[in-house]
């Protein structure tokens, strides 16, 4: 039974069709079919909010019995983000354009991929009658859950980008591209497993490693050889690897839930704090 028949929502948002859960859904067409069930189940009085930057999602409009509002960064859509700029902390600024007016937005969230998520939320709020100035202000203070694109300057160490709440190829690519946008003499990515990719697992891991290499990023796999790069095993080895970085470097930590990379991040932060208390902030 489709989930929409259980919850019976009035508003549905489809953000993308990506390589997620393909071990169970088969391929991207299977993912699209599963996600389209939400759109088809919405009542005529409801609203379908679709990412028009994704052709597969845009195509779901024909399945909707209710009004459709599209949002996009690059494509034509009802709600758009224009003039997107990232600051040094990977926070995006843009001009929010909609049928309800325009407003300048500065996200509190890190990463250019958050722009599309902000547009989806803004579209629903605007349709519900929230003034666009209120929407823009709320987007400026909204925070993500822990382990999602946290950007911190480690005392005496690198800029640390922690995005290990989960990982699929699309989010991994967005994360390494965000890392590439940071200033830094040396850029490294500690990447854990991207789970549930089925027979495409090896090719997708290797693709992410190639993208990172093209961007000048050194990839080290955490407890996986699927990236085809150097790897470390266990928390202690991972902390030792992170400790080779220093001021002027930038590091990404990214992986699926099963990789438990948050354990590495916690241990690394304890290591840094222990060194600080000992009066030595230089990396070991």
21 has a pLDDT exceeding 80: no
In this prediction, residue 118 carries a pLDDT of 98
Of the two residues 8 and 137, the one the predictor is more confident about is 137
Check if the beta carbon of residue 191 is closer than 8 Å to that of residue 222: yes
162-191 pLDDT, tens digit each: 999 999 999 999 999 999 999 888 999 999
- pLDDT-based confidence at 105, cuts 50/70/90? very high
Check if the beta carbon of residue 31 is closer than 8 Å to that of residue 14: no
Which overall architecture, per CATH, does domain 3-139 show?
Answer: 3-Layer(aba) Sandwich (3.40)
- Total-model pTM: 0.85
- pLDDT-based confidence at 7, cuts 50/70/90? confident
In this prediction, residue 280 carries a pLDDT of 60
Domain spans, the chain: 3-139, 150-277
* Residues in Cβ contact with 1 at an 8 Å cutoff, skipping those fewer than 6 apart: none
Overall average pLDDT of the 232-251 stretch = 96
Average pLDDT of the chain? Answer: 93
Of the two residues 282 and 149, the one the predictor is more confident about is 149
220: how many CB neighbours lie within 10 A of its CB?
18
34-89 pLDDT, tens digit each: 999 999 999 999 999 999 999 999 999 999 999 999 999 999 999 999 999 999 89
Ranking 1-10, 107-116, 221-230 by mean pLDDT, the lowest is 1-10
Cα distances (Å, whole numbers) of residue 143 to 23, 85, 116:
31, 19, 15
Ranking 1-5, 26-30, 35-39, 75-79 by mean pLDDT, the lowest is 1-5
Q: Domain 150-277: state its class.
A: alpha beta
- pLDDT-based confidence at 1, cuts 50/70/90? very low
- pLDDT-based confidence at 2, cuts 50/70/90? low
The string of DSSP codes covering the chain is --HHHHH--SEEEE----SSSHHHH-SHHHHHHHHHHHHHHS-TTSEEEEETTSHHHHGGGGG-SS-EEEEESSS--SEEEEEEEE-TTSEEEEEEEETTEEEEEEEEEESTTHHHHHHHHHHHHHHTT--HHHHHHHHTT--PPTTSSEEEE-TTS-EEEEE-S---HHHHHHHHHHHHHS--SEEEEEE----S-GGGHHHHHHHHHHHHHHTT-EEEEES--TTSSEEE-HHHHHHHHHTT--TTEEEEEE--GGG-HHHHHHHHHHHHHHHHHTT--S--
In this prediction, residue 250 carries a pLDDT of 97
Of the two residues 17 and 120, the one the predictor is more confident about is 120
219-237 pLDDT, tens digit each: 999 999 999 999 999 999 9
**How far apart (Å, rounded) are the C-alpha atoms in residues 98 and 49?**
13
In this prediction, residue 4 carries a pLDDT of 65
282 has a pLDDT exceeding 70: no
């Amino acid at each position: 039974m489709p989930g929409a028949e259980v919850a019976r929502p009035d508003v549905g948002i489809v953000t993308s069709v990506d390589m997620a859960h393909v071990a169970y859904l088969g391929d991207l067409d299977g993912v699209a079919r599963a996600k389209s069930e939400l759109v088809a189940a919405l009542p005529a009085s409801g609203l379908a909010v679709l990412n028009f930057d994704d052709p597969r999602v845009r195509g779901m409009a024909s399945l909707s019995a209710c009004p459709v509002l599209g949002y996009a960064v690059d494509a034509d859509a009802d709600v758009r983000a224009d003039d997107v700029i990232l600051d040094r902390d990977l926070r995006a600024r843009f001009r929010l354009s909609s049928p309800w007016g325009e407003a300048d937005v500065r996200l509190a969230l890190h990463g250019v991929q958050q722009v599309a998520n902000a547009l989806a939320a803004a579209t629903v709020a605007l349709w519900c009658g929230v003034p666009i100035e209120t929407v823009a202000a709320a987007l400026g203070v909204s925070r993500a859950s822990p382990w999602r694109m946290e950007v911190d300057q480690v005392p005496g160490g690198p800029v640390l980008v922690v995005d290990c709440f989960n990982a699929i190829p699309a989010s991994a690519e967005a994360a390494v591209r965000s890392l590439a946008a940071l200033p830094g003499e040396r850029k490294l990515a500690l990447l854990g497993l991207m789970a549930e990719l089925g027979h495409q697992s090896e090719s997708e891991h290797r693709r992410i490693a190639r993208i990172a290499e093209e961007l000048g990023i050194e990839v080290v796999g955490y407890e996986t050889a699927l990236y085809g790069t150097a790897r470390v095993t266990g928390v202690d080895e991972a902390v030792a690897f992170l400790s080779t970085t220093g001021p002027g470097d930038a590091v990404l930590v990214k992986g699926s839930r099963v990789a438990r990379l948050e354990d590495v991040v916690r241990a690394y932060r304890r290591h840094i704090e222990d060194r600080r208390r000992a009066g030595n902030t230089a990396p070991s």
